[in-house]
Amino acid sequence: MMRNVGMKVGELARRAGMTVRTLHHYDEIGLLSPSRRTDSGHRLYGAAEVERLQQIASLRQLEFPLEEIRELLMHLDRVHEQLRRQRQLCDQLEVIAQRLRETGVAPVDELLRTMEMMNVVNNYYSEEQLDWLRQRREAVGEELIREVEAEWPRLMAEVRAELDAGTYPAEPTVQALMERWSGLVAEFTGGNPGIEKSLNSFYETEDTMPTGEAIDRELFAYVGKAMAARNQ
């Protein structure tokens, strides 16, 4: 059974009965890439990548070329993502229908806001990035995702307190908060620079977060100054 922490490329190659060179090639052509990293920076393959590797191996036995396998699996990922979004929307509609049955009032504004945010998010992330995020979510597990999501409002409140207190962005107390901030961003992006760029574009352009809360422009400007001081 695979450990929850994931496997390095050498271990996966040994247990899958293939060469490290083959796995590196799969990574280079965008067919299979590790989604996690250790604290020391080593890349790890999680359960989702092992499952994908099994799909690749099965298709290779059927003599499919690698390029066709890549296109097929990407299409399959897109279909799964579309189904996931449809299920998510269906669940939201069920909640609204239940509220309507219980109260006689349909929270239409809530539904419209949810659908609007789904469309907004889709404007900033490509299909490939959304697929990558879905795979990463599966790899790290729902428990860690919930922990990260719960930490964000606490961290923002602490940063806002320093901002209100007039603490200079380069002060150690603020820099310690920026260390936590960078860690949470890394948990979401998995070190993927494209995902981080899309995330930054979202916060720079939109006025509302995916949760429906207004984006605190003053706070994010303060974070920008603190990050600049951190990188000096």
pLDDT tens profile 156-188: 999 999 999 999 999 999 999 999 988 888 877
Residue matched to tokens 């393959």:
45
68-85: average pLDDT: 81
Architecture of domain 9-67: Orthogonal Bundle (1.10)
121-130: average pLDDT: 68
Residue 191 half-sphere exposure, CB side, CA atoms within 13 Å? 12
pLDDT value, residue 26: 92
Whether the model clears a pTM of 0.75, i.e. scores above it, the answer is no
For residue 226, pLDDT over 50 is answered with yes
Q: Look at phi and psi of residue 18 and say left if phi exceeds 0, alpha if psi is from -120 to 50, else beta.
A: beta
64-71: average pLDDT: 91
For residue 141, pLDDT over 80 is answered with no
Q: Tell me the pLDDT band of 2, cut-offs 50, 70 and 90.
A: very low
For residue 217, pLDDT over 80 is answered with yes
pLDDT value, residue 65: 93
Domain boundaries, the chain: 9-67, 71-124, 141-230
